[in-house]
Amino acid sequence: MPILTTLIFLPLLGAIGLLCLPDSARPVFRWVTLVLCALHLALSSWLWLSFDKQLIGYQFTETFDWITLTLGQFGVISIDYALGVDGLSLPMVWLTSLVMLVGAVSSFEIKTKEKAYFSLYLLLTGTVVGCFVALDLFLFFLFFEFMLLPMYFLVGLWGGPRREYASLKFFLYTLAGSVFILLVMIALYLSAVDPAETALSVGLVKDRAMITDQVLDQVHLAISQLQVDPAQLVHTFDLRYLSDPANYVPESLLSTMAGHEIFGMSARLLAFALLFIGFAVKLPMVPLHTWLPDAHVEAPTPISVVLAGILLKIGGYGFFRIAYELFPDGAVYFAAWIAGLGVLSIVYGAFNALSQNDLKRMIAYSSVSHMGFVLLGLAALTPEGANAAIYQLFSHGILSPMLFLVAGVIYERTHDRSIDGYRGLATPMPSYAAWTAVAFFASLGLPGFSGFIGEFFSLMGAFNSTYVPVWMVVAGGFGLVLGAGYFLWTFQRVFLGKTWTMHDTSVLTDLTFREKAMLVPLGLLSLAFGILPGTLFSITEGYVMEFLKKF
Amino acid sequence: MNLAILIPLLPFLGFLINGLGFRRIPKAAVGLIGTGAVLGSFAIVLSLFSGFTGTAQVVPVYDWFTVGDFNVSFGFQIDQLSLLMMLIITGIGSLIHLYSIGYMHHDEGFGKFFAFLNLFVFFMLLLVMGSNYLVMFIGWEGVGLCSYLLIGFWNKNPEYGYAARKAFVMNRIGDLGFLIGIFLIVARFGSLEFASVFPAAAQLQTGDAGLFWITFCLFIGAMGKSAQIPLYTWLPDAMAGPTPVSALIHAATMVTAGIYMIVRSNVLYTLAPETLHIIGWVALATALLAASIGLFQNDIKKVLAYSTVSQLGYMFMGLGMGAYTSGFFHVMTHAFFKALLFLGAGSVIHAMSDEQDIRYMGGLRKKLPITFTTFLLGTIAISGIPPFAGFFSKDEILAHVYEHSPLMWGLAVFGSMMTAFYMFRLLFLTFFGEFRGTHEQEHHLHESPLTMTLPLMVLAVLSVIGGFFNVPEILGGTAKLEQFLDPIYQYARQANPEAFAGVHLDHSTEFMLMGVSVAGAVISIIAAWVIYISRKSVPAPDEQVSGLQQVIYRKYYIDELYDAVFVKPIQALSRFFYSVVDKGGIDRFGVEGVGRFVKGLANEFRLLQTGATGFYVLMMVTGIAVILVYSLRSLIFG
């Protein structure tokens, strides 16, 4: 069985399997989920180890024709089931497995409607992996949209008091973003062709096996001179073709040559901007971020873990894989603006985090702030910046679950997350205090932990960039100071001083084995990636080098 | 494997053992492991030092990472400067670990304390041993973490938690400067390795604009860590930590990291005279401000804390004159006598059942003879009385300052007079006169155990003889330290030979300078004697202090000023962003506004669906008519 398909369909089949189990099997639902997630992590660890760092391009590729439709004058539509991983998606796939496993452990606290919950949870796992490994834009979009369904229900059914508001807000926000992406998809479809399939359809070659680079060049030449009948053009959503300007029909809307304008704005720039907004909602970027704090506050702990750990990363991934790879000209054109929005997210998020009294809301705003570093690093278009952006996605994928688990620990005991509801928790709960300190210091960018590497190199990449003004780097660095401020202030208020709480102190028991089993490995991973950043850089390096050649 | 790797590794192992097992390991073993780890490192440093041939060496540990073309290796720099720092850190560190066995004996967090202390030594060693700026930065932030953990060690007291956070955040501001300095260095030199940056810098011109910004940003980092104006207010508050911490971290080692960094980067600073100029004035202002605050403080540790800030100012003053060795010499001697004074203060506090206010002490010299004797020696040393350690190092700095500007010299001497005054005030109020505490405290007074007095005695000896490491030629010495450190200025000398020409003063001037500063110190001591011994005056209770004295006692209200100018506005801004911009603006008008708009529109349109057939027919006919008119518009309107 091909590995990537397995990674997608193992959880999906698991979801269906759970639905088939009788209700009397209730106690095993969570164990089935846990075992499947553990297996998932084992498989993606194998994938990581078998990945060849020297190779450029996608590995473990799988391609099957899926949908082929002849649309007369509009040519032929070809949608493939195409999967593959490279230095960008591999870390994300592994991170997905890791976070889903942690979330599965955390889901043990779910005590209602387990069958539905765990089926949806597994469904979510499969669709998220699908997002990261899809090489066909259509397939990507399918997974991207499908993911909303389980998320909507997971927040809306198992969430807190304002769960309906939060889940609807989340759903509509992301859907609005998706509409922009969909618009660009249609434009892309009309503009780009699959040269190999087109060679077959015009009869240049008889068999797929005979296609060589020469043939492709011939096709490109024929297309560029408009010698091909539009009805014979095979349009594609394959990202590998979409990222090559030679595959765009001249005079088409998004061709680099044509220079079409829409409302007085270059069509390509507009397309980039639309994609950017679509993914910026997901990241999220200020000012498109207000769904995140609400969704986090209402979501149950494991769903917060998944939301912060993985779902936000799809936004960052989409920037790289789609917006930047397909429209490098737009990325360059808007670089300073993107960096500015990144800095805005860093500083604005940090300021907001400072004023929160709800622990989860504070952490949610810190996520907004940390994702700003991704934007800043990406906008720089330097090797340091781009590597750091991926690193920051990965590192935040380890640390934000930790932070939400920390918030979940106290919530489970008292059902109260207010920061001023506690004082001096370090005395009754010393291990809890210690691991919270690890999570907080790692998140505020203490050297030795992974957070530092991501933030340091984002700033350095931006500093060395010709696109980013120096003041932005300084302002972004100010976010580090604020970060220390809100994390330590929170720590001081909740953990230091004389023990006081308005709740019954007898419930303030220290970490359980299950809680430690989640927090300790995450803390150690952050430490490991902070001390040996080469582990990840060696994977992303090759991808970033190829990526930057476009600019 | 190179022996140097073991130097930081041993304390790190100590941290792991005590940190992971502090509830299970018996106290005796904890103390032994913690102290032994640092002592072991000290032994290795000694052997490296004695076998040192004079050529700097880089010990690679591992290739850290490569991003793009930018490679950073994790390596240790073994040369004159790092060896001396390592000697101070592990040597004084061992003594303070030993002292802590006695001092912290009754504390329930004994194991945790030793774990943190070991971790601090580990990071401090990384800081001084790192062969590039990034390793230095890791150590730099790492010691900040340990400082945070140890200041807030007694975390049940909310004030201590506040002090810990203040220290960390204020240091973070400085660290941002350091970080930008690092970025500038990478942008300029393409590397962070000392071994490639310094030779490249030596090719540049004096007054290079890029170097100004690099050195200035690095100095901002130094301001934070070494408590210079405007980032100094965290250090006095940091005295919330247990006293051995104050001695090790907030007097002898960590706070001198800024000086170390500048001495390390001497070639960059030599080529940036403007930065040196700024450093000189900032340092002088800090030295005077802190000394003046020290005059009226009544908390034994607060006096020493302000004294530390002030002495750090003197070290930076030396650096500002380009006299790196003098600045560094003062780091060494200060490490001896200030560690001694803090540990002595700890011994007093220990005996006084945790009382720190000198107004309730007095007459302790009979009950604590060893503490008294050693404290006296330390006090003489810091006051600059020959031939004690402080005299030599401070005098060297003052001579350089005089050559630079007699005005600055005058002010600096005034500062050192204040130093002598507040130190002897402290000594007299604590150890002389009548006991002013409670009966219970008096009953309890006792000399500390040997684990605590032994470090005092060793440090006292060093405070007495420490000056002889670098006796200037004028006093018949050979300036050994100067000669020993000479190779680390190789590139700076190559780039700007004039900066290293030494002091040009003639002997009579130099003797005059020494005479004035010693005389000043003696006058101060006499003044303190008259006030606190002859007249037996005791500082008034807090509420009776008024006027200028009140302003100084309240530390010129700088904390209140920072609170009003920075902390409060930032908090207000954060609340504004959340409640007005985020909730009110984006959510209420933006997101929910769109929702309301769509809903409202739908509500209006809904009314059209009346269900009455007649209405539908009417609408249909109207529609057809409109379409007809539109299609035939050319016919109708011509």
Cα(A244)–Cα(B74) distance, integer angstroms: 40
- Give the residue-averaged pLDDT of A52-67: 90
Residue in A384, A534, A544 nearest the CB of B64 = A534
What pLDDT, in 10s, does the model give residues A99-128? 999 999 999 998 888 899 999 999 999 999
ipTM of this complex prediction, to 2 decimal places: 0.90
Do the domain assignments include residue B549? no
- What was the pLDDT predicted at A89? 94
Same domain, B228 and B80: no
Residues 6+ apart with CB under 8 A from A39: A10
What pLDDT, in 10s, does the model give residues A35-46? 999 999 999 999
Nearest CA in chain B to A533: B65
What pLDDT, in 10s, does the model give residues B484-540? 888 888 888 888 888 777 677 788 888 898 999 999 999 999 999 999 888 888 888
Same domain, B236 and B221: yes
Same domain, B124 and B168: no
Same domain, B394 and B250: yes
- What was the pLDDT predicted at B205? 87
Strand partners, A64: A81
What pLDDT, in 10s, does the model give residues A325-375? 999 999 999 999 999 999 999 999 999 999 999 999 999 999 999 999 999
Same domain, B602 and B617: no
- What was the pLDDT predicted at A262? 82
Residue in B66, B577, B591 nearest the CB of A290 = B591
- What was the pLDDT predicted at B564? 86
Same domain, B510 and B589: no
| Residue A82 contacts residue A4 (beta carbons within 8 Å) | no
Cα(A19)–Cα(A117) distance, integer angstroms: 10
Do the domain assignments include residue B68? no
Same domain, B229 and B353: yes
Residue in B161, B577, B591 nearest the CB of A351 = B577
Cα(B112)–Cα(B637) distance, integer angstroms: 95
- Give the residue-averaged pLDDT of A59-78: 86
φ/ψ of B154, rounded to 5, equals -90, 75
Same domain, B213 and B260: yes
Do the domain assignments include residue B271? yes
Do the domain assignments include residue B547? no
In angstroms, the Cα distances linking B346 to B159, B258, B305, B456, B589 are 20, 26, 13, 11, 60
Cα(B439)–Cα(B445) distance, integer angstroms: 10
Nearest CA in chain B to A424: B156
What pLDDT, in 10s, does the model give residues B226-237? 999 999 999 999
- Say whether A480 and B165 touch across the interface (CB within 8 A): no
- What was the pLDDT predicted at A247? 87
- What was the pLDDT predicted at A193? 87
Question: A286, A444, A478, A492: best mutation site toward chain B, by most B Cβ within 10 Å?
Answer: A492
pLDDT higher than threshold 80 for residue A93 = yes
Do the domain assignments include residue B77? yes
Same domain, B267 and B298: yes
Same domain, B632 and B484: no
User: Would the CA dihedral through B261, B263, B269, B273 be positive or negative?
Assistant: positive
Q: Which of A73-82, A138-147, B310-319, B537-546 has the lowest mean pLDDT?
A: B537-546
3-state secondary structure B552-583: HHCHHHHHHHHHHHHHHHHHHHHHHHHHHHHH
Tokens of B199: 């030779």
Peptide bond into B8 cis (omega under 30): no
Q: Percent of chain A beyond pLDDT 70?
A: 100
Do the domain assignments include residue B143? no
Nearest to B300 by CA among B354, B252, B249: B354
Peptide bond into B26 cis (omega under 30): no
Other C-beta atoms within 10 Å of A149: how many?
A: 14
Same domain, B438 and B530: yes
- Give the residue-averaged pLDDT of A157-167: 90
Same domain, B233 and B377: yes
Below-70 pLDDT ranges, chain B: 1, 502, 638
- What was the pLDDT predicted at B638? 65
Do the domain assignments include residue B390? yes
Cα(A386)–Cα(A381) distance, integer angstroms: 6
- Give the residue-averaged pLDDT of A481-495: 92
Secondary structure class of A424 (helix, strand, coil): coil
Do the domain assignments include residue B148? no
Which residue segment(s) compose the domain that B600 sits in? 554-607
Strand partners, B77: B58
Report DSSP letters for A379-414, one per residue.
HHTSHHHHHHHHHHHHHHHHHHHHHHHHHHHHHHHH
Q: Which residues from chain B sit within 8 angstroms of residue A463, using beta carbons?
A: 180, 183-184, 186-187
CB within 8 Å of chain B, chain A residues 290-319: 290-291
CB within 8 Å of chain A, chain B residues 137-176: 137-138, 141-142, 145, 148, 152, 155-158, 160-162, 164-165, 168-169, 172-173, 175-176
Domain count, chain B: 4
| Residue B159 contacts residue B236 (beta carbons within 8 Å) | no
Residues 6+ apart with CB under 8 A from A253: A187, A190, A191, A260, A267
